[in-house]
């Protein structure tokens, strides 16, 4: 693979984290326009840990994920009692507040005779871990996909657990879920914290992939896209948002001849898709049909073996 392709594939991997983050909240029936805030918090935190404090990369990613979770907890406590549009607006307001805070955030130290660290609207440059530690683009791509695979596996287990069932119950009808004994607010708070963790982890990877971050990156556009990934790809499985990311970035990359009009074309396609398949390509019904088809596949049984064995003999 050439460097450009590696870059695109790495971008798809990193953006998948914020898509999965929005997907987790969509499972509980909440639409968040603010997952980019946790992505930003993770990006800045992990950048500070590795580029400024010179601590190991794994610690930087862990710190990014932890601050993402902590921020989600702080925001979730007052907002998760809201519903629908009110919750969506609250998350958007929070994300914009975070972006503006990063525009005002200045914390720099001198390294190698140069100031390093967040510098308000100019952003945070020189997050050079991959260059200072001789990590190749391919190696970093494998790190991204290793962590994405682990996250997907975690979600796979979660969706088969009681907690995952509670997420979907709340997403269907939170009042009905409450009457069935589901503690709605704590479960939603758990979902928000997990979503914040995933977004924070993705942010840490993004900062190290691009080597720079700035507040403009984390504006509402990223939030809308991260939400759209789940809605395009489908809400039936965690692979849905990933499919959404592949379609989004793949489509944008393959329609370069539209130049500046690409987003308009993309927006139109998304609108059409959502009319045709309101819960995305991999919706619950399709996922159910696929699972049923897989289960129906005939397996060789010992009885058949015996019969065939007799016929042959």
Contacts with another protein, residue ranges (CB under 8 A): 3-4, 7, 11, 15, 56-58, 112-114, 122-123, 125, 128, 130-135, 139-140, 142-143, 146-147, 149-150, 153-154, 210-212, 214, 216-217, 219, 221-222, 225, 249, 252, 256, 259-260, 262-263, 266
Cβ-based nearer residue to another protein, 171 or 244: 244
Alpha helix stretches (DSSP H) within 80-172: 84-104, 129-132, 137-159, 162-172
Cβ-based nearer residue to another protein, 216 or 308: 216
Residue 106: how many other CB atoms lie within 10 Å: 12
56 in helix, strand or coil? coil
Shortest Cβ 215–another protein spacing (Å): 9
Q: How far apart are CA 156 and CA 73, in angstroms?
A: 23
136 in helix, strand or coil? coil
Cβ-based nearer residue to another protein, 114 or 173: 114
Residue 153: how many other CB atoms lie within 10 Å: 11
Shortest Cβ 225–another protein spacing (Å): 8
Count the helices and strands in the chain (H runs, E runs): 14, 2
Shortest Cβ 212–another protein spacing (Å): 4
Shortest Cβ 275–another protein spacing (Å): 22
Cβ-based nearer residue to another protein, 32 or 50: 50
Within 13 Å of residue 21, how many CA atoms lie on the same side as its CB?
35
Q: How far apart are CA 68 and CA 305, in angstroms?
A: 55
Shortest Cβ 217–another protein spacing (Å): 5
Cβ-based nearer residue to another protein, 43 or 72: 43
């Amino acid at each position: 693979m050439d460097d450009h392709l590696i870059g695109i594939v790495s971008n798809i991997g990193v953006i998948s984290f914020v898509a999965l983050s929005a997907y987790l909240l969509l499972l509980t029936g909440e639409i968040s326009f603010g997952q980019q805030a946790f992505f930003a918090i993770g990006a800045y935190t992990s950048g500070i840990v590795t580029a400024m404090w010179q601590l190991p990369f794994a610690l930087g990613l862990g710190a990014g994920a932890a601050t993402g979770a902590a921020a989600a907890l702080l925001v979730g406590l007052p907002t998760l009692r809201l519903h629908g549009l009110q919750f969506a607006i609250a998350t958007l307001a929070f994300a914009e507040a975070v972006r503006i805070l990063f525009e005002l955030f200045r914390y720099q130290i001198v390294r190698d005779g140069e100031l390093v660290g967040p510098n308000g609207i100019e952003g945070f440059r020189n997050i050079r871990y991959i260059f200072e530690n001789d990590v190749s683009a391919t190696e970093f791509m494998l790190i991204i996909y290793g962590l994405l695979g682990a996250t997907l596996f975690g979600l796979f287990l979660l969706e088969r657990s009681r907690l995952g069932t509670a997420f979907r119950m709340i997403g269907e009808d939170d009042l009905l879920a409450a009457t069935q004994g589901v503690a709605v607010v704590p479960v939603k708070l758990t979902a928000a914290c997990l979503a914040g963790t995933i977004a924070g982890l993705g942010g840490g990877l993004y900062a190290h992939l691009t080597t720079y971050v700035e507040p403009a990156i984390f504006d509402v556009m990223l939030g809308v896209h991260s939400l759209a990934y789940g809605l395009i790809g489908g809400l039936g499985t965690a692979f849905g948002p990933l499919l959404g990311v592949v379609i989004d970035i793949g489509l944008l990359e393959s329609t370069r001849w539209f130049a500046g009009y690409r987003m308009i074309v993309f927006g139109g396609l998304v609108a059409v898709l959502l009319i045709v398949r309101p819960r995305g390509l991999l919706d619950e019904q399709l996922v159910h049909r696929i699972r049923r088809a897989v289960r129906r596949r005939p397996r060789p049984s010992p009885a058949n073996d015996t019969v065939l064995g007799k016929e042959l003999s």
